[in-house]
Amino acid sequence: MTDGALRILVTGGTIDKVHDPRVEALVFPRDGATLVPEMLAMGRCHFPLVQIVMLKDSLDFDDADREAIAAAAAAAPEAALVITHGTGTMGATARFLQGRVPGKTVVLTGAMRPHSISASDGSFNLGGAVVAAQVLPEGVYGVMNGRVIPAARLDKNVEAGRFDL
Amino acid sequence: MTDGALRILVTGGTIDKVHDPRVEALVFPRDGATLVPEMLAMGRCHFPLVQIVMLKDSLDFDDADREAIAAAAAAAPEAALVITHGTGTMGATARFLQGRVPGKTVVLTGAMRPHSISASDGSFNLGGAVVAAQVLPEGVYGVMNGRVIPAARLDKNVEAGRFDL
Amino acid sequence: MTDGALRILVTGGTIDKVHDPRVEALVFPRDGATLVPEMLAMGRCHFPLVQIVMLKDSLDFDDADREAIAAAAAAAPEAALVITHGTGTMGATARFLQGRVPGKTVVLTGAMRPHSISASDGSFNLGGAVVAAQVLPEGVYGVMNGRVIPAARLDKNVEAGRFDL
Amino acid sequence: MTDGALRILVTGGTIDKVHDPRVEALVFPRDGATLVPEMLAMGRCHFPLVQIVMLKDSLDFDDADREAIAAAAAAAPEAALVITHGTGTMGATARFLQGRVPGKTVVLTGAMRPHSISASDGSFNLGGAVVAAQVLPEGVYGVMNGRVIPAARLDKNVEAGRFDL
């Protein structure tokens, strides 16, 4: 693929949560920014474009949110897309996107633990998603915890605290 | 691929270095252990097998070391292999392995900054390598900093402090 | 003071919270353990004794909890005590302890951000409290964010996200 | 003490080292900056003034360096001073300063492990030093690993990897 020809669409989810000492809870950054550029810098990965679509908990997503994500994915000039997403309904969005983003490789990813706190799976997952978006054939996939999972079977293993095949 | 059918061969390199306050320098763990299992646990990636081949700086590798790596790769029952490796001669080892590990997908990876210190690219790279080993066709590749790089062109960009296409 | 003659009484609070991916929130460790020994090891501080009194949010403390803390402090054979405590009612507990722990130097501390997540103030505060407990005269103090604060004036500056003189 | 009336003199040492992937070693930041302000921000400690005197390994200090540190300490308008310093000759500098900084409380501190890498003792030590400088009587001390150590007895326990009483 051409240098730079990968776009990351940010939709929120645990991966982008930060600790807010006022409310003593994990929230999205007050300034509306995403941590994905910092994660890419840490991974010394300079070529993806990053676009914020929204910053939401995926448990709060409705079809209008998924339409917005599909529209952003369809409008992107790149054929390789990564979508950062909450883990709660990642599978539902993946299945929603199937057939709506023809001609592209779309890889959803996220984290069980925020990147902003130590020992997150975010970098491991994002590193896998960036690679997968470049080498997989057209379609919609999840890349989580070392696995490439087709949209049809993408669902969190709540007990194990990870995504499995 | 069958669950569990991915093996990680550890050879050392920056990814596995730790700080030793006695000598105030980065060294391999005194107990001969590797940090790769800890990295997998952080990535919530439970299925790879981890095998230590050696713990060496890749600048100190000679052909006997590369023969040992090739032998371990050829002997592995899995068709999907990740090799953690120093960045200094990762390309030389990749080219050495070409033709010596038929029928397997071999992905070399490592880090510009040790996993044991903050802001390492190790998890991002390992997450990419684990995915790549499962989806790429037979051959020898490097996966570093978001890129899948064929063995023939795998070399560190020393100025930029990363691997590029 | 004699080597080892400092006791840390753990009562919970933000300093000891960890992220639980199941509930996507900060909770106390499921195994009832405290992170204080890990913090001491990181600070290469080997001599304090650590005793768990309870693991609670200080906003949930009632007088029975404060009686239990006072009893543990009075029963401790050491004259130098550190108490880890939530920031929400640290001042109230400090004032409750005044007059109830004669002959001892009692220093309350905690964190605005959990030790288990990156960029916590926990180590800075604990390092200050351990020193203060050894050098201050008998009495009850808070040590937070670089300040030694008498019990009478110990209260969180919620707007600034820290404790001030 | 008056708000703000504490100055931190930075002289280098392990506490301020960062990893340089080009040379794969720990070095001082190329831009001549210090990490002490970042450490204070993490500790939510807003009041100290930070002044860089030099950024050197304390094993490379000679008497001219110690004269420069003594001059900076004597010239400081504050009566409470913290000096960040390498662990190798922290005791020698403390003893050099004795008698040269009358009327001030001078506390040397540093780290066995750089702040820039995870699991450093830097924040724990700095938090202790900032408190000690405000509450100890006039004199020269080291604060390391939870201990307040008089200049006369300040020396690294190389075997244990810490400072002891």
Candidates A120, A124, A143; nearest CB to B126: A124
What ipTM was predicted for this assembly?
A: 0.96
Residues 6+ apart with CB under 8 A from B119: A42, B113
A14, A21, A26 ranked by CB distance to C161: nearest: A21
Residue range B72-83: mean pLDDT, rounded: 98
- Taking residue A160's Cβ as centre, other Cβ atoms within 10 Å add up to 12
Give every residue of chain D whose pLDDT is below 70, as ranges.
1-4
Are the beta carbons of C146 and D3 separated by less than 8 Å?
Answer: no
Q: For residue D116, give the chain C residue with the closest CA.
A: C119
- Integer CA distances (angstroms), D65 to A58, B129, D69, in order: 58, 48, 6
C157 to chain A: closest CA residue: A22
User: What is residue D90's predicted lDDT score, i.e. its pLDDT?
Assistant: 98
**Residues of chain A contacting B46 with CB distance shorter than 8 Å:** 145, 160, 162
Q: Determine the pLDDT at residue D97.
A: 98
Q: What is the pLDDT of residues A76-96, one digit of tens each?
A: 999 999 999 999 999 999 999
Q: What are the strands, taking DSSP E only, across chain C?
A: 6-12, 18-20, 25-27, 49-56, 80-84, 105-109, 139-144, 147-150, 156-157, 162-163
pLDDT tens, B112-136?
A: 999 999 999 999 999 999 999 999 9
Touching D (3+ Cβ pairs <8 A), the chains are B, C
The residues of A whose Cβ lies within 8 A of any Cβ of B are 3, 39-40, 42-48, 112, 119-121, 123-132, 134-136, 143, 145-148, 160-162, 165
Q: Chain C: nearest CA to D12, how far in angstroms?
A: 19
Q: What is the pLDDT of residue D24?
A: 86
- Residue A24: per-residue pLDDT: 87
Chain B CB contacts of D19 below 8 Å: 26, 113-114, 117
Instruction: Determine the average pLDDT of the residues in A141-159.
Output: 97
The pLDDT of residue C3 is above 90: no
Beta-carbon separation of D124 and C162 below 8 A: no
Mean pLDDT of C68-75: 98
What per-residue confidence (pLDDT) applies to A3? Answer: 46
Using a pLDDT cut of 90, give the percent of chain A over it: 93
pLDDT for the residue numbered A2: 45
Chain B residues in contact with D158 by the CB 8 A cut-off are: 22
pLDDT of residue D88: 96
Question: Which of A39, A130, A147 is the closest to B128 by Cβ?
Answer: A130
Of D39, D124, D161, the CB nearest to C43: D124
DSSP per position, D13-66: SGGG-EEETTTTEEE--TT---SHHHHHHHTT----EEEEEEEE-GGG--HHHH
pLDDT of residue A14: 97
Q: In chain C, pLDDT over 70 holds for what percent of residues?
A: 98
In which band, very low, low, confident or very high, does the pLDDT at B1 lie, cut at 50, 70 and 90? very low
* CA-based max dimension of chain A: 45
Taken as a whole, chain C contains a residue count of 165
CB-count burial class (<10 Å; 0-12, 13-18, 19+) for C16? buried
Question: Residues C128-157: what's their mean pLDDT?
Answer: 98
Over range B100-108, report the average pLDDT. Answer: 98
A162, B44: Cβ pair inside 8 Å? yes
Among D19, D22, D113, beta carbon nearest to B158: D22
Q: Do C128 and D130 touch (CB under 8 A)?
A: yes
Domains, chain A, with CATH or none: 6-163 (3.40.50.1170)
CB–CB contacts below 8 A, C to D: 112
Residues 6+ apart with CB under 8 A from C157: C163, C164
Q: What is the pLDDT of residue B2?
A: 45
Q: Does the pLDDT of residue B3 top 90, yes or no?
A: no
Contact B124 A39 (CB under 8 A): yes
Other Cβ atoms within 10 Å of D86 Cβ, number: 25
Question: What pLDDT, in 10s, does the model give residues A6-30?
Answer: 999 999 999 999 999 988 899 999 8
**Which of C14, C15, C19 is the best substitution to test chain A (most A C-beta atoms within 10 A)?**
C19
Set A2, A11, A14, A89: catalytic member: A14
- Chains B and D: how many Cβ contacts under 8 Å? 37
Across the interface, whether the CB atoms of D132 and C131 are under 8 A apart is answered: yes
Transcribe chain A into DSSP letters.
Answer: --TT-EEEEEEESGGG-EEETTTTEEE--TT---SHHHHHHHTT----EEEEEEEE-GGG--HHHHHHHHHHHHH-S-SEEEEE--STTHHHHHHHHTTTSTT-EEEEE--SS-TTSSS-SHHHHHHHHHHHHHHS-SEEEEEETTEEEEGGG--EETTTTEE--
Q: Give the pLDDT confidence of C13-26 residue by residue, as tens digits.
A: 999 999 999 888 99
pLDDT given for residue D2 in this prediction: 45
Chains near C, with 3+ CB pairs < 8 A?
A, D
- In degrees, rounded to 5, the angle at the alpha carbon of residue C146 between the alpha carbons of residues D140 and C164 is 135
Of C46, C123, C135, which is closest to D127 when you measure between CB atoms?
C123
Closest residue in chain D to residue B17, using alpha carbons only: D24
Distance of alpha carbon B159 from alpha carbon D21, whole angstroms: 10
User: Tokens 């700080």, residue?
Assistant: B19
DSSP of B101-161: STT-EEEEE--SS-TTSSS-SHHHHHHHHHHHHHHS-SEEEEEETTEEEEGGG--EETTTT
Beta carbons of B19 and D114 less than 8 Å apart = yes
CB C83 within 8 A of CB C69: yes
Active-site hit among B11, B14, B34, B109 = B14
Q: List residues in chain B touching A: CB distance below 8 A.
A: 3, 39-40, 42-48, 112, 119-121, 123-132, 134-136, 143, 145-148, 160-162, 165
Q: B15-73 pLDDT, tens per residue?
A: 999 999 988 899 999 899 999 999 999 999 999 999 999 999 999 999 999 999 999 99
Neighbours of D18 (CB within 10 A): 17
Residue among B118, B125, B145, B157 with most chain D CBs within 10 A, to mutate: B118
Q: C9 has which bridge partners?
A: C51, C83
Question: Which pLDDT belongs to residue B113?
Answer: 96
pLDDT band at residue A1 under the 50/70/90 scheme: very low
Identify all chain C residues contacting D45, using CB atoms and an 8 Å cutoff: 121, 124, 145-147, 162
